[in-house]
Chain A
Amino acid sequence: MADANEKRVPVTILTGFLGAGKTTLLNRILSENHGKRIAVIENEFGEVGIDHELVIGADEEIFEMNNGCICCTVRGDLIRVLSNLMKRRDRFDYILVETTGLADPGPVAQTFFVDEEIGRQLRLDAIVTLVDARHHAQHMRDTREAAEQVAFADVVVINKTDLVNPEEVDELERSVRAVNPVAKICRAQNAAVAMDRILDVGGFSLDRALDINPAFMTPEYPFEWRGVFDLKGGETLQLDKGPDPTMKIAVIPWDEEQGAAYGKNDEMAARLFSARAKRVSSGELIKAGNRLNLLDLSLSGYSFPIAVDAPGRFGIYLEHRPEEFNARWSGAKGSLLPADVQRFSGHTHDKEIRSVGIEQEGDLHPKKLSQWLQTLLAENGADILRMKGVLSLRGEDRRFVFQGVHMLFDGKPGRPWGGDIRRNSLVFIGRNLDRQKLNRSFQECLS
């Protein structure tokens, strides 16, 4: 099977809003001296200016494929253009498909799963999404497609980073991560990206699906910022009026032993954040320990003294980003700086795209798993944009790897487990995904 796969010509789908730099990137790819014969399929309203003989126009013809019980949309124009390209004997080494700025990458990706003629000769390598460092945040707020394009991506290129300051790029990267924690992110100026970061990356490859690591996915926390401080008691937090009338704050003893890497402190704080909060007005004490403080910020100009039982190192967790309230920390010797700062992606609402990672040790009962997956795809297929997973099936000495788009998926046995700990790692990116419910129902598939 692997040999047959290798013969298939890789295809990269390039998405991104108008002005994100798709044309510049295409021109770079085409002018790069890589010895590859590349064909470009450009959308009908493509940004002009690609100087290349192998550019073919296509317009978005999305139609519904009623395949038994599965209903999905595919791109009829792509089927036609791609199958025509692949009939030639002197094939291309690589195909790039550029989508219109506002395109939903779903139908494009699904075309490769659904059409047998396409699937036989071409393999979808990756979806590469270009985002404009200046305008992406705005696009994410204003459109559904901006987040979708990021959610579908295997690689996100944050372009035009020279036009904004580094903090803004960091912020953008965090918001990209919040939507899609598994995509590879690269920063670029003038669409200058190393070719091996965007071509032949194996985003849809089952052999490379083993790379996924949900542990590296940031869980969703109810706070946006954490600072680690050495406190003696009597320090003060001063705030200005900000976008929200209240802010939750927890000050918990910092357990270095537990290790920041494992996030035990963060988990503890997360539990505390779901507890009942004690309302604190300006001038009143923020108490450390097992208490959630709710700062009243309805008026203006606030100062809160911090009380600790004993001097030591503390993690201070803020519900909102401190800069939104111009937060200032001060101690006996004046301004106080945190020893360490961690930012967390903002909490998302149900309609927004988010990712859910599942990481569980143990073997799965194949029948229960298949039932679980069927139910999940029937109920949430339309909302699941991408999914990937490495599974441990009972009685199988090899990993089972799968990946998919919406309700279409593709799976096969992967590397043998050998002496490795048998664990299941899955990532879902989509809308309306209930993390707890997913985890709970998945756990029931363990035999």
Chain B
Amino acid sequence: MPLLIARISAETLKPAWSTTLPEAVHSIAVSERQGRMAVGLEDGSLVFLSSAGGDLLSSAKAHEMGFLSLAVSPDRFATSGPDGKVRLWDETGRPMEAIEAGGPWVQKVLWSPEGSKLLIAVGKRVRLWERGKGWTRNFAPQAGTVADLQWRGDGQRFLSAAHGGVWLFSVADEQPEKKFDWKGSPVCVAQSPDGQLIATGEQDATVHLYIVPTGEDLRMTGYESKVRALAWDPSGRALATSGGSAITVWDCSGDGPEGSEPARLEGHGGLVTALFFSVDGRRLVSGGRDGLVIEWDVETGEAIHKTMTDGEVSVLRALGSAGQFAVGTKAGTVSLLEAGRR
């Protein structure tokens, strides 16, 4: 596999802080109000760090057999694991209730934007749990285990991606409002900011794109491996995807990516595992199995900053809008970096 070094010698970002934890980092969620971040570890424990200095505030065993999902609302955290449980934590990291999800594999938890509703994907089914009410709805099961969820708009609708396609549900109805069927197995789902396009990264090394208004769908191929990270730029023009050591960026403006040649950002020496766009859409940050975190100029495709971490990058999480972001690695390190200016 050719390894292309970024065209300019990028500067290195110095982390504001770095904290090493005893297990590989699975996920990170940030409570802006409390200035703390929750870090899910692969052994099923949950650790709280201060966002300002990376100080270890508390640590608890959240799940048996590993960690599957971490979600944050304005004043709560929720976690899930393969032990069939969902746990809630207050914004300071104190454990609250434990919810039996009704099945062993709880792939995903997701708070509605205002924080009253919690979507829980357990096995092939999504269930709705509401604060003060408990379970309020069981949605129709899909063909396979639900892999990913995303709220759509105001918290009244959501997307559920599972083996066999993406279903659009309204929280008011058990049956899906719309089905986007495809005989594939998705890893992740991400819709464009205007909701008109729904992309899934697939196990079979493709990206599937559903065009909501027309009901058409596109299949984008050419990836080295399964596509595990997707990111839309805030304008909805560019869809960055990773399914190999290069980042493939599709231009989804105008007539869409059909027939177009995507841009390829090459600089990682291993699979790209995480991606996000800066709030202004001018920077794309990527993390890879090679341990590198690269900040790209979206306009020119140049790598502006490159930082080597101590292990495979497993998660990138933006903090606020000032360009700060947290990096978690398989070596168990969480670092806070700041996307720089040129």
Contact = CB atoms under 8 A, between A and B. Distances in A.
Interface of A: 53-54, 56-59, 61, 63-67, 74, 76-77, 79-81, 84-85, 87-90, 115-117
Nearest to B205: A67
The size bracket of the interface on B is: 20 to 34
B36 interface: no
A63 B105 contact: no
Contact of B123 (A59, A66, A74): A59
B183 A63 contact: yes
Contacts of B68: 84
A56 B81 CA distance: 11
Given A76-B144, A80-B147, A84-B66, A63 B203 contact: yes
20 contacts: A57-B104, A59-B145, A63-B204, A64-B183, A64-B204, A67-B204, A67-B205, A76-B185, A77-B163, A79-B203, A79-B226, A81-B82, A84-B68, A87-B42, A87-B66, A88-B66, A89-B42, A89-B43, A90-B43, A115-B226
Tell me the interface secondary structure of chain B in the complex.
loop
Interface of B: 22-24, 26, 42-43, 64-66, 68, 82, 103-105, 107, 123-124, 143-145, 147, 163, 183-185, 203-206, 225-226, 314, 330, 332
B23 A89 contact: yes
Please list the 5 inter-chain residue pairs (A to B) with the smallest Cβ-Cβ separation, ordered nearest first: A76-B185, A61-B144, A87-B42, A63-B185, A61-B163
Contacts of B314: 87
A92 to B, nearest CB: 10
Contacts of A85: 66
A63 to B, nearest CB: 4
Contact of A61 (B107, B143, B226): B143
Contact of A57 (B43, B105, B143): B105
A80 B65 contact: no
A117 B105 CA distance: 20
A79 B64 CA distance: 20
A186 to B, nearest CB: 32
Contacts of B332: 89
B242 to A, nearest CB: 13
Given A54-B65, A79-B226, A87-B42, 19 more contacts: A53-B64, A56-B65, A56-B105, A61-B143, A63-B183, A63-B185, A67-B204, A76-B145, A77-B144, A80-B145, A80-B147, A85-B66, A87-B330, A88-B23, A88-B24, A88-B42, A89-B42, A89-B43, A117-B226
A84 B82 contact: yes
Contacts of B23: 88-89
B65 A61 contact: no
A66 B204 contact: yes
